[in-house]
Structure 1
Amino acid sequence: MATPPPTTPGSFRQLSGAQRKAFFAAWLGYLLDGFDFILITLILTEIADEFDLSLTKAATLVSAAFVSRWLGGLVLGAIGDRYGRKPAMIIAILAFSVGSGLCGFAWGYWSLFVFRALVGIGMAGEYGSSATYVMESWPKSMRNRATGFLLSAYPIGTVIAALAYEFIVPAGGWRWLFYVGIIPVALTLYLRRSLPEAAEWEQEVAGKDDVTTSSVLFSPRRRLPNAALAVVVSAALVLIFTGLAGPAAPYLIAVTVLGLAGFAVQLAGRLWPVMIAVMVTVFCAFLYSWPIQSLLPTYLKSDLGFDASQVSNALTWAGLGYAAGTCLAGVVGDKLGTRPTYVLGLFVSLAFVFPVFALPSDNIVLLWVLLFAMQATSQGISGLLPKYVGDHFPTRLRAAGLGFTYNVGALGGAVAPLAGAAIADDLGSLGTALMVLAGSLTVVVALMIGLDVPARIGRALKISSDAPALAPKERKAVSGL
């Protein structure tokens, strides 16, 4: 049975025991997601040495999980809309845990690429299903806090991964770091076996087979064409991000864009221009954040000469800043509104991006402080992103809408490490490349969110929807937009 949100919302004390248990289970699943997903960034140099890869080629292994995320967000989101948020979460955690464990058995570049793609499918499903599950189980006035506190789990997972790296890799090698990634799955599945379903989904969607995304994507007349389109888009993305596309790259990019737009039109109906605008916003958000997320360990080792212990300490402070920032963003977002808080956090982060990459290697303590502050603002503010994206879709489409939109935008995370490595080759400094990408794209994202670009497009086209972002101003105030 679903547990409805408190009738008089506003405080954690008003949440029932079942709702707290449900949140903790979702939080733990997302922690494990962060642990498994970030492992590859910690050991790029070790993998490059063993498989005789350049840094640019090794960076494509980070991109592998992003290449598959759009598919995970689409399919597992549709499952979440049709069968409930809880089963989608369970499938997602199985995918990324098994994928991580298989990475430890990789025998070369391509096997590792495929296993990382499986991790990406699971992470995409975990993000969309967990975020919608928690939002739809909590009061509307607390939903910025719900997503902010939920996303604090991801950086805690990265901190645990950094600590595991310090102790496991020097002693046993990089493969053991991946083996550890599969161990906690049993605990999470045990916790989720007794979870209630999200109240809002049960009230508005459960039992109505004809209103969810699965009825659109998997209907008999669309099933095979959509499967074929998914294969074409996936193949194009693999060729693009592994560098095998050659002169055909522009055409494959066009095929990918058209294919993803085709899914957006089916998924969102008349809301498709809004969905695509949100995708572009998220894409730019990944371009400012993921060069640092994916290449910071490499920068610390290659440019600053840090050993495993120093890298672990620096990443621990960065992860703690990220976690603290997501919680703070959630609290402030419920007070000031989602978009104003998001924009404020992005502009504050610019004060820390440039000093981080200007410090010499001997200012270790100051680097920790600056990394904490930078990640608390630039990354921590992304705790509001599920709320921001989810507000552009009605409940019946929210899991797939959030999962697909966010994870198509997350292709910016696939571009990010390649862009960072390529710019570093031109500038001769990885730190300078990260600073340029993070600084410039932060401003772009702040402007897109601050000017409310996706919702403005929806209103300009006179698209009617019960999505909160397109609601009248008085309803927006209640939703905390």
Structure 2
Amino acid sequence: MSGNEPAEPIPDGIIATARQAWGDLFKWKQRVVVTNDDGEEHAEWIEPEPIQNPITLCRQLSARDWLFFVVGLAAWTADAFDFHALSIQTVKLSKYYGRSKTDISTAITLTLLLRSIGAAGFGLAGDKFGRKWPMVLNMIILGILQIATIYSATFQQFLAVRSLFGLFMGGVYGNAIAMALEHCPVNARGLMSGVLQQGYSMGYVFAACANLGVGGATDSWKTVFWIAAGISIAVGLIRILFPESKQFIEAKKAGKQSTDPKAFWKDTKHMLAKEWKMCIYAVILMTWFNYYSHTSQDSYTTFMLTQKGLDNAQASRASILMKTGACVGGTIIGYLSQFFGRRRAIIVSAFVSGLLIPAWILPQGERSLSVTGFWIQFFVQGAWGVIPIHLNELSPPAFRSSFPGITYQVGNMISSPSAQIVNAIAESTMVKGATGEPAPAYGPTMGVATAIIALGIMVTTAFGPEKRGRRFETAVAGVDEHAPPKVVDSEKADLEKGHELERRVTTNDDDAANVEKLEKI
């Protein structure tokens, strides 16, 4: 017995579970499911962890832990750079190919649409074969496809390459966050999740810096793509130099090895049959979140260029400051979620971002737009900063590479038309621009859409599950669940010590000290 206060078990029905989740949101103690040595489960209330010094949390990671975290962060940052190299240069590409900005955003839609296929293939490969080689293949091919984009002579070739790019881009997220977070100590995961998610924002910042550096000439978009290609290929080559994930290897050793793919797919089917409600919930949540980020950022540079009258340098600087706010907010709120709860952190961040929408789209001038952009993205990406660890904790334990990646990318697929929808509505609706002339209504379109999405995130999160602090270090897919478990060295030593004491106790019933030792073990 743990001594914690017993709690009502988590019900099976969707409505009953949602009702319980809503009630738990207003209780400070956290409901957890505990499994005893006999495999029996019961629920308990536990006190949340106290706030800890972030420096102390960072020091808990060993050099190896940091190495894997940094490589995962670099892969996710490069992935984001590759994507945003297109979204922040929509105006340049529109001029280069002689197409409307809505037409150019079709490439964004195709990329997001096909990422889920790559997430499924490479995520399952990561769970079965390890995190290393799927990521290496992903990153190198992404770099090659960035180069292929540069040499796309026609708009049709451009769309075809970006579609193929989406397939391989989808495989990065799941393997990157699994590799980065599964090495982190449990109580440091909120902080590290917040830092990791900001790889997406850092990719945007680096792409905006590159765009600022190359200037506003139409052909300069190619230079940004060359930089993106170099970064992706470099990350892939660096990953070759480092070993497979330690947690993946240890998890494989914890059970009977299975090299037969049938065992893995059998586990996958069993997981889907058992966890289908969790899968659907995670997809819905990720759909809201992907609309949240793409609606509030993909057309923001275009908004400043067309409706607010900023030039390329001004819009790029404002974009950099905006996503700097995202990096700071995601890190801070991800860190706080470890102590205040994943769902509370998401709901409060979404609520505040909704309140900031008027201040985000109404000001004029680079300075005002930079400040308000900083703060809205502080809370938009603050909510996002909780997502990597929240998805990992909700995942079936043996599918931490595939589940987050697939649900994230399916959400991306559903939200793939977001930039195209914003561009189409904005270009068909005119408002008074900064110069007094009619301009596309990007601000009102993004504002209304973001408000609706923020509300959707709050409702979905409030009635959804949370498994903060869940321990998932030793689960592995494709392992024979009926095979006798292997005992790690420390456990083996304790068992051997227990057997020896048991032998001594049975031969000397009066040895009270040995009885006490045996009971402790």
Establish whether TM, by shorter chain, passes 0.5.
yes
| Higher helix proportion (structure 1 or 2) | 1
**Which ranges in structure 2 are unaligned for 5 or more consecutive residues?**
1-54, 431-440, 473-521
151, 156, 161: which one aligns with 2:197: 151
Encode CA deviations 1:196-224: one digit per residue, 9 max, x unaligned.
4334333334674379899329x9xxxxx
Letter aligned with residue 174 of structure 1: W
439, 445, 458: which one aligns with 1:446: 458
8 Å Cα contact 2:321-2:370 kept in structure 1: yes
Question: Structure 1: how far apart are the matches of 2:231 and 2:56?
Answer: 33
Question: Structure 2: how far apart are the matches of 1:51 and 1:309?
Answer: 22
When normalised by structure 2's length, the TM-score is: 0.73
401, 404, 411: which one aligns with 2:403: 401
8 Å Cα contact 2:84-2:204 kept in structure 1: yes
Question: Structure 1: how far apart are the matches of 2:95 and 2:234?
Answer: 35
82, 89, 93: which one aligns with 2:139: 93
Encode CA deviations 1:343-367: one digit per residue, 9 max, x unaligned.
111111122222111112x3x2121
Question: Structure 2: how far apart are the matches of 1:52 and 1:195?
Answer: 45
1:334 aligns with 2:322: no
268, 271, 281: which one aligns with 2:275: 271
Letter aligned with residue 395 of structure 1: P
Question: Structure 2: how far apart are the matches of 1:177 and 1:336?
Answer: 40
8 Å Cα contact 1:156-1:323 kept in structure 2: yes
240, 256, 275: which one aligns with 1:193: 240
Question: Structure 1: how far apart are the matches of 2:243 and 2:188?
Answer: 19
Q: Give the alignment's Cα RMSD to 1 decimal.
A: 2.6
Letter aligned with residue 170 of structure 2: A
Aligned to 2:306: 302
Change (3 A) 1:123 1:353: farther
Aligned to 1:288: 292
Aligned to 1:380: 382
Identity of counterpart residues, as a percentage?
Answer: 21
63, 68, 76: which one aligns with 1:22: 68
Question: Structure 1: how far apart are the matches of 2:404 and 2:358?
Answer: 32
Encode CA deviations 1:10-69: one digit per residue, 9 max, x unaligned.
721121111112211222222211211101112212222222222222211111210110
Question: Structure 2: how far apart are the matches of 1:57 and 1:406?
Answer: 25
8 Å Cα contact 1:323-1:376 kept in structure 2: yes
Question: Structure 2: how far apart are the matches of 1:374 and 1:130?
Answer: 26
**Which ranges in structure 1 are unaligned for 5 or more consecutive residues?**
1-8, 220-263, 456-467, 470-475
Q: Which has the larger radius of gyration?
A: 2
| Higher strand proportion (structure 1 or 2) | 2
Give the deviation of 1:377 after TM superposition.
0.5
Letter aligned with residue 387 of structure 1: I
Structure 1 runs of 4+ aligned residues shifted over 4 Å read 210-214, 264-267, 476-480
Change (3 A) 1:40 1:185: closer
240, 251, 264: which one aligns with 1:215: 264
Give the deviation of 1:303 after TM superposition.
0.8
Aligned to 1:236: none
8 Å Cα contact 1:164-1:177 kept in structure 2: yes
Aligned length in residues: 405
Question: Structure 1: how far apart are the matches of 2:92 and 2:75?
Answer: 28
When normalised by structure 1's length, the TM-score is: 0.78
Give the deviation of 1:189 after TM superposition.
3.2
Where does 1:100-111 land on structure 2 (aligned, <5 Å)? 100-111=146-157
Change (3 A) 1:293 1:179: same
Give the deviation of 1:309 after TM superposition.
0.4
Question: Structure 2: how far apart are the matches of 1:163 and 1:213?
Answer: 48
Question: Structure 2: how far apart are the matches of 1:138 and 1:319?
Answer: 26
Question: Structure 1: how far apart are the matches of 2:113 and 2:224?
Answer: 22
Give the deviation of 1:426 after TM superposition.
5.1
Question: Structure 1: how far apart are the matches of 2:271 and 2:92?
Answer: 41
Aligned to 1:249: none
